[in-house]
Amino acid sequence: MLSIDILLNAIVTGILLGSVYASLALGLGITFGILHIPNIAHPTLVVAGAFFVYTLTQWGLDPIVAALIGLVPFYLLGVVLYAFYSAVFERKGGANVLQSLTLFFGLSLVIEILLSLGFGSELKSVSVSYIGSSLKLGVLTVPYRLLIPALLAPVTIAAVWFYLSRTNSGTAIRAVAHEERALSIAGLNPASVKRHAFGIATATAVIAGAALIMVGPIEPFAGRYQIGRVFAIVVLAGMGSIPGSLVIAIIIGIAEALVSSYLNPSWSPGVAFAILLLGLALRPQGLFGAAR
């Protein structure tokens, strides 16, 4: 069974899946990595994004176009979520981790149930012309079903990274994480910067949702299986390192693909966490993070 084309294909599949994981993790990289808000509802927001995309594709739109349309409502959703979050906690002088985790936990339950009441518990999938065929490159067979969503990730990540590092409002977002007071001195309102950042993070969920539903069918509770991976990626990348998260996501994707090719697929759900636990034990600041 150990043939070179199986190995190559497994690695390519791993890279593609990893890239999809990276887009799932992108929003969390902003909320948790930069703003330090442990938004465990993010994977559920991604699933909500997938359902949004599904609904629009029922009217004949391409999933990627649907996702672009979804950016605005999801940005607004994020702004509202942050407004609620800060109304609850910021007035008490900052949230403690336990409470914000619980808040987002409750939120994800509510979203899941609303989705399942609205869409039923049946699986939903999108059918587009390019799903079902593949690109053949020598021994490699690359399904478009994975290739297209996988290409979405680097594009979105690059866009977000460019925004954060090259524009003024992006710099403000990165600054707010470090020194809120300095920001006030500079004449910016930290609360509105954070709100904006949370909005962007939530907007990425709809792109990730489009990627997710292209890869395979979706049900309202699908977010749960991603929570582990997504946090593993953000934490291991070193909080806030967005390009780093792409690298980690791909490492995890390859590891999972190799485990399922050579060991047994039934071990693959544990891979991300095994990597996370090892990573936390050996290098708590993350692979790309500065020591804290």
Partner 1 sequence: MRKNSLVFLAGIVIVLALGFLMPWLLRNPFYFFAGYVVLQYVTIATGWNILGGYAGYINFGAAGFFGAGVYLSAFLFTSFGLPLPLCILAAAIVGAILGVLMGYLTLRIQGVYFAIATLGLVVVLETIVHNISGLGGASGMAVYGPRPPAWSPGPSQYNFTVMVVIAVVSVALARWVEISWIGRGLRAVRASEDAAECSGVPTLRLKLVACALSGAVLAAAGAPYPFYTSFVEPVTAFSLIIGLNAIAMPLIGGTRTWVGPVIGALLLASVQQIATVTISSELNILFVGAVLIAFVAFAPGGISDLFGRKKGRARL
Partner 2 sequence: MKTRRQFHKLMAVTAAGLAAPAILGSKVFAQDKPIRVGASVSLTGPLASTKNGQIGYELWRDDVNAAGGLLGRKVELVIYDDQSSAANVPAIYSKLVDVDACDVLFSPYGANLSAPVMPFIKQRDLFMIGMFGLAGNDVAKHDKFFHSGPWGPNSGRDWARGFFDLAKAQGVKKIAIINADLEFSKNAAKGGADVAKEYGMEVVFNQSYPPNTSDFSSMIRNINAGDPEAIFIASYPADSTAIIRGVKEIGISDKVKLFGGAMIGPQYGALLGSLGPELNGLVNSHTFVPEPTMQTPAIKSFFDRYTPIAVKQGVDPLGFYIPPFYYVAGQLAAAAITGSKSVDPAKMAAFLHANAVDTIVGKIAFTEIGDWKERRVLMVQLRGIKGNDLEQFRNPGHQVILDPPSLKTGELAAPYNKARAS
Query: Which residues would be at the binding site for partner 1 (CB under 8 A)?
Result: 38, 40, 88, 92, 96-99, 101-103, 105-110, 112-114, 116-117, 224, 227-228, 231-232, 235, 264, 266-267, 269-270, 272-274, 276-277, 280-281, 284
Single residue of 36, 88, 189, 216 touching partner 2 by CB under 8 A:
216
Q: At its nearest, how many Å lie between partner 2 and the CB of residue 227?
A: 13
CA distance 127 to 37: 36
Q: At its nearest, how many Å lie between partner 2 and the CB of residue 217?
A: 5
Binding mask 258-277 for partner 2 (x = CB under 8 A): --xx--xxx-xx--------
| Residue 162: contacted member of partner 1, partner 2, none (CB under 5 to 8 Å, by partner type) | none
CB-neighbour burial class of residue 119 (10 A; exposed 0-12, middle 13-18, buried 19+): middle
Tell which phi-psi region holds residue 187, choosing left (phi > 0), alpha (psi between -120 and 50) or beta.
left
Tell which phi-psi region holds residue 125, choosing left (phi > 0), alpha (psi between -120 and 50) or beta.
beta
Q: Is residue 106 a contact residue for partner 2 (CB under 8 A)?
A: no
Q: Is residue 222 a contact residue for partner 2 (CB under 8 A)?
A: yes
Q: At its nearest, how many Å lie between partner 1 and the CB of residue 86?
A: 12
Q: Is residue 141 a contact residue for partner 2 (CB under 8 A)?
A: yes
| Residue 6: contacted member of partner 1, partner 2, none (CB under 5 to 8 Å, by partner type) | partner 2
- SS3 category, 201: helix
| Residue 156: contacted member of partner 1, partner 2, none (CB under 5 to 8 Å, by partner type) | none
CA-nearest of 86, 100, 286, 52 to 199 is 86
Q: Is residue 122 a contact residue for partner 2 (CB under 8 A)?
A: yes
Q: At its nearest, how many Å lie between partner 2 and the CB of residue 46?
A: 14
Choose between 146 and 197: whose C-beta lies nearer to partner 2.
Answer: 146
CA-nearest of 104, 89, 100, 87 to 42 is 104
Q: At its nearest, how many Å lie between partner 1 and the CB of residue 56?
A: 25
User: Please, which residues have CB within 8 angstroms of residue 266's CB and are 6 or more apart in sequence?
Assistant: none
Q: At its nearest, how many Å lie between partner 2 and the CB of residue 226?
A: 10
Binding site for partner 2 (CB under 8 A): 1, 3, 5-6, 9-10, 13, 17, 116, 120-123, 125, 127, 131-134, 141, 143, 145-146, 215-217, 219, 222, 225, 257, 260-261, 264-266, 268-269
